[in-house]
Amino acid sequence: MVIIYDQLGTIYGYIWYMPQLVETELWFLPFVPDSPTASLFFTITLLSFLVGKKWPLIEAFGAVTLFKYGIWAVVMIVATNFTGGTLHWTSYMLIVFHIGMAVQALLFSRYFRFKLKHLLIVALWTLTNDILDYSLGIFPWLYSGLHPYLTNIYMFTVSLSITSVLVFHVLVARRTGQYKNDIPV
């Protein structure tokens, strides 16, 4: 059931991003569709569990980004409301689904087996994505009332990337006993 939920969310997400993807230069396409890419990697992770495979880098990427973009989208939708934007029924649907994304990542953390090296690669990717988003303006399209706050949104986004990596480092490293070889948190 969760796999179907994530697949549908992935498809909807790529459709939602389509107008922005059409306007994005080819080189930057991998950095634009954040939430659907996160749910895609998480879906691959769940499918790998079903067939008995472990792909720790995919697990780390799926977990960190699913959690991060789940929280990020909810905050941006709520911020839209506070800055004068109108929320539609789809806004509330997106809030529910994005909260679900973050919760899923936490609930499945007990099955993850990635190591610090995998999280460092994911940290490099997510922070690079954040820098490109806000230096090149390829961040997900936001309500215009949020644009005066882009510096704050950028700082929040980077902080959320770091927090997401640390959350999964603590959850997985503690459970798997990796602290003896990892950087302590």
At which residue do the structure tokens 């997985």 appear? Answer: 172
pLDDT over 90 (residue 175)? no
The pLDDT value given to residue 1: 77
The pLDDT value given to residue 2: 85
Mean per-residue pLDDT, 3-24: 94
Model confidence pLDDT, tens digit, residues 51-106:
999 899 999 999 999 999 999 999 999 999 999 999 999 999 999 999 999 999 99
Q: Is the separation of the CB atoms in 104 and 42 below 8 Å? A: yes
**Residue 56's closest CA among 69, 45, 46, 67?**
45
Token reading at 185: 């948190």
What pTM was estimated for this model as a whole?
Answer: 0.92
Average pLDDT value for the chain: 93
The pLDDT value given to residue 150: 97
The pLDDT value given to residue 18: 96
**Cα gap 47→24, rounded to integer Å:** 30
The pLDDT value given to residue 178: 66
- CA-CA distances (angstroms) from residue 154 to 25, 68, 85, 124? 21, 13, 20, 16
CB crowding 41-74: b at 16 or more within 10 Å, else e: bbbbbbebbeeeeebbebbbbbbbbbbbbbbbbb
**Cα gap 162→65, rounded to integer Å:** 11
**Cα gap 115→98, rounded to integer Å:** 26
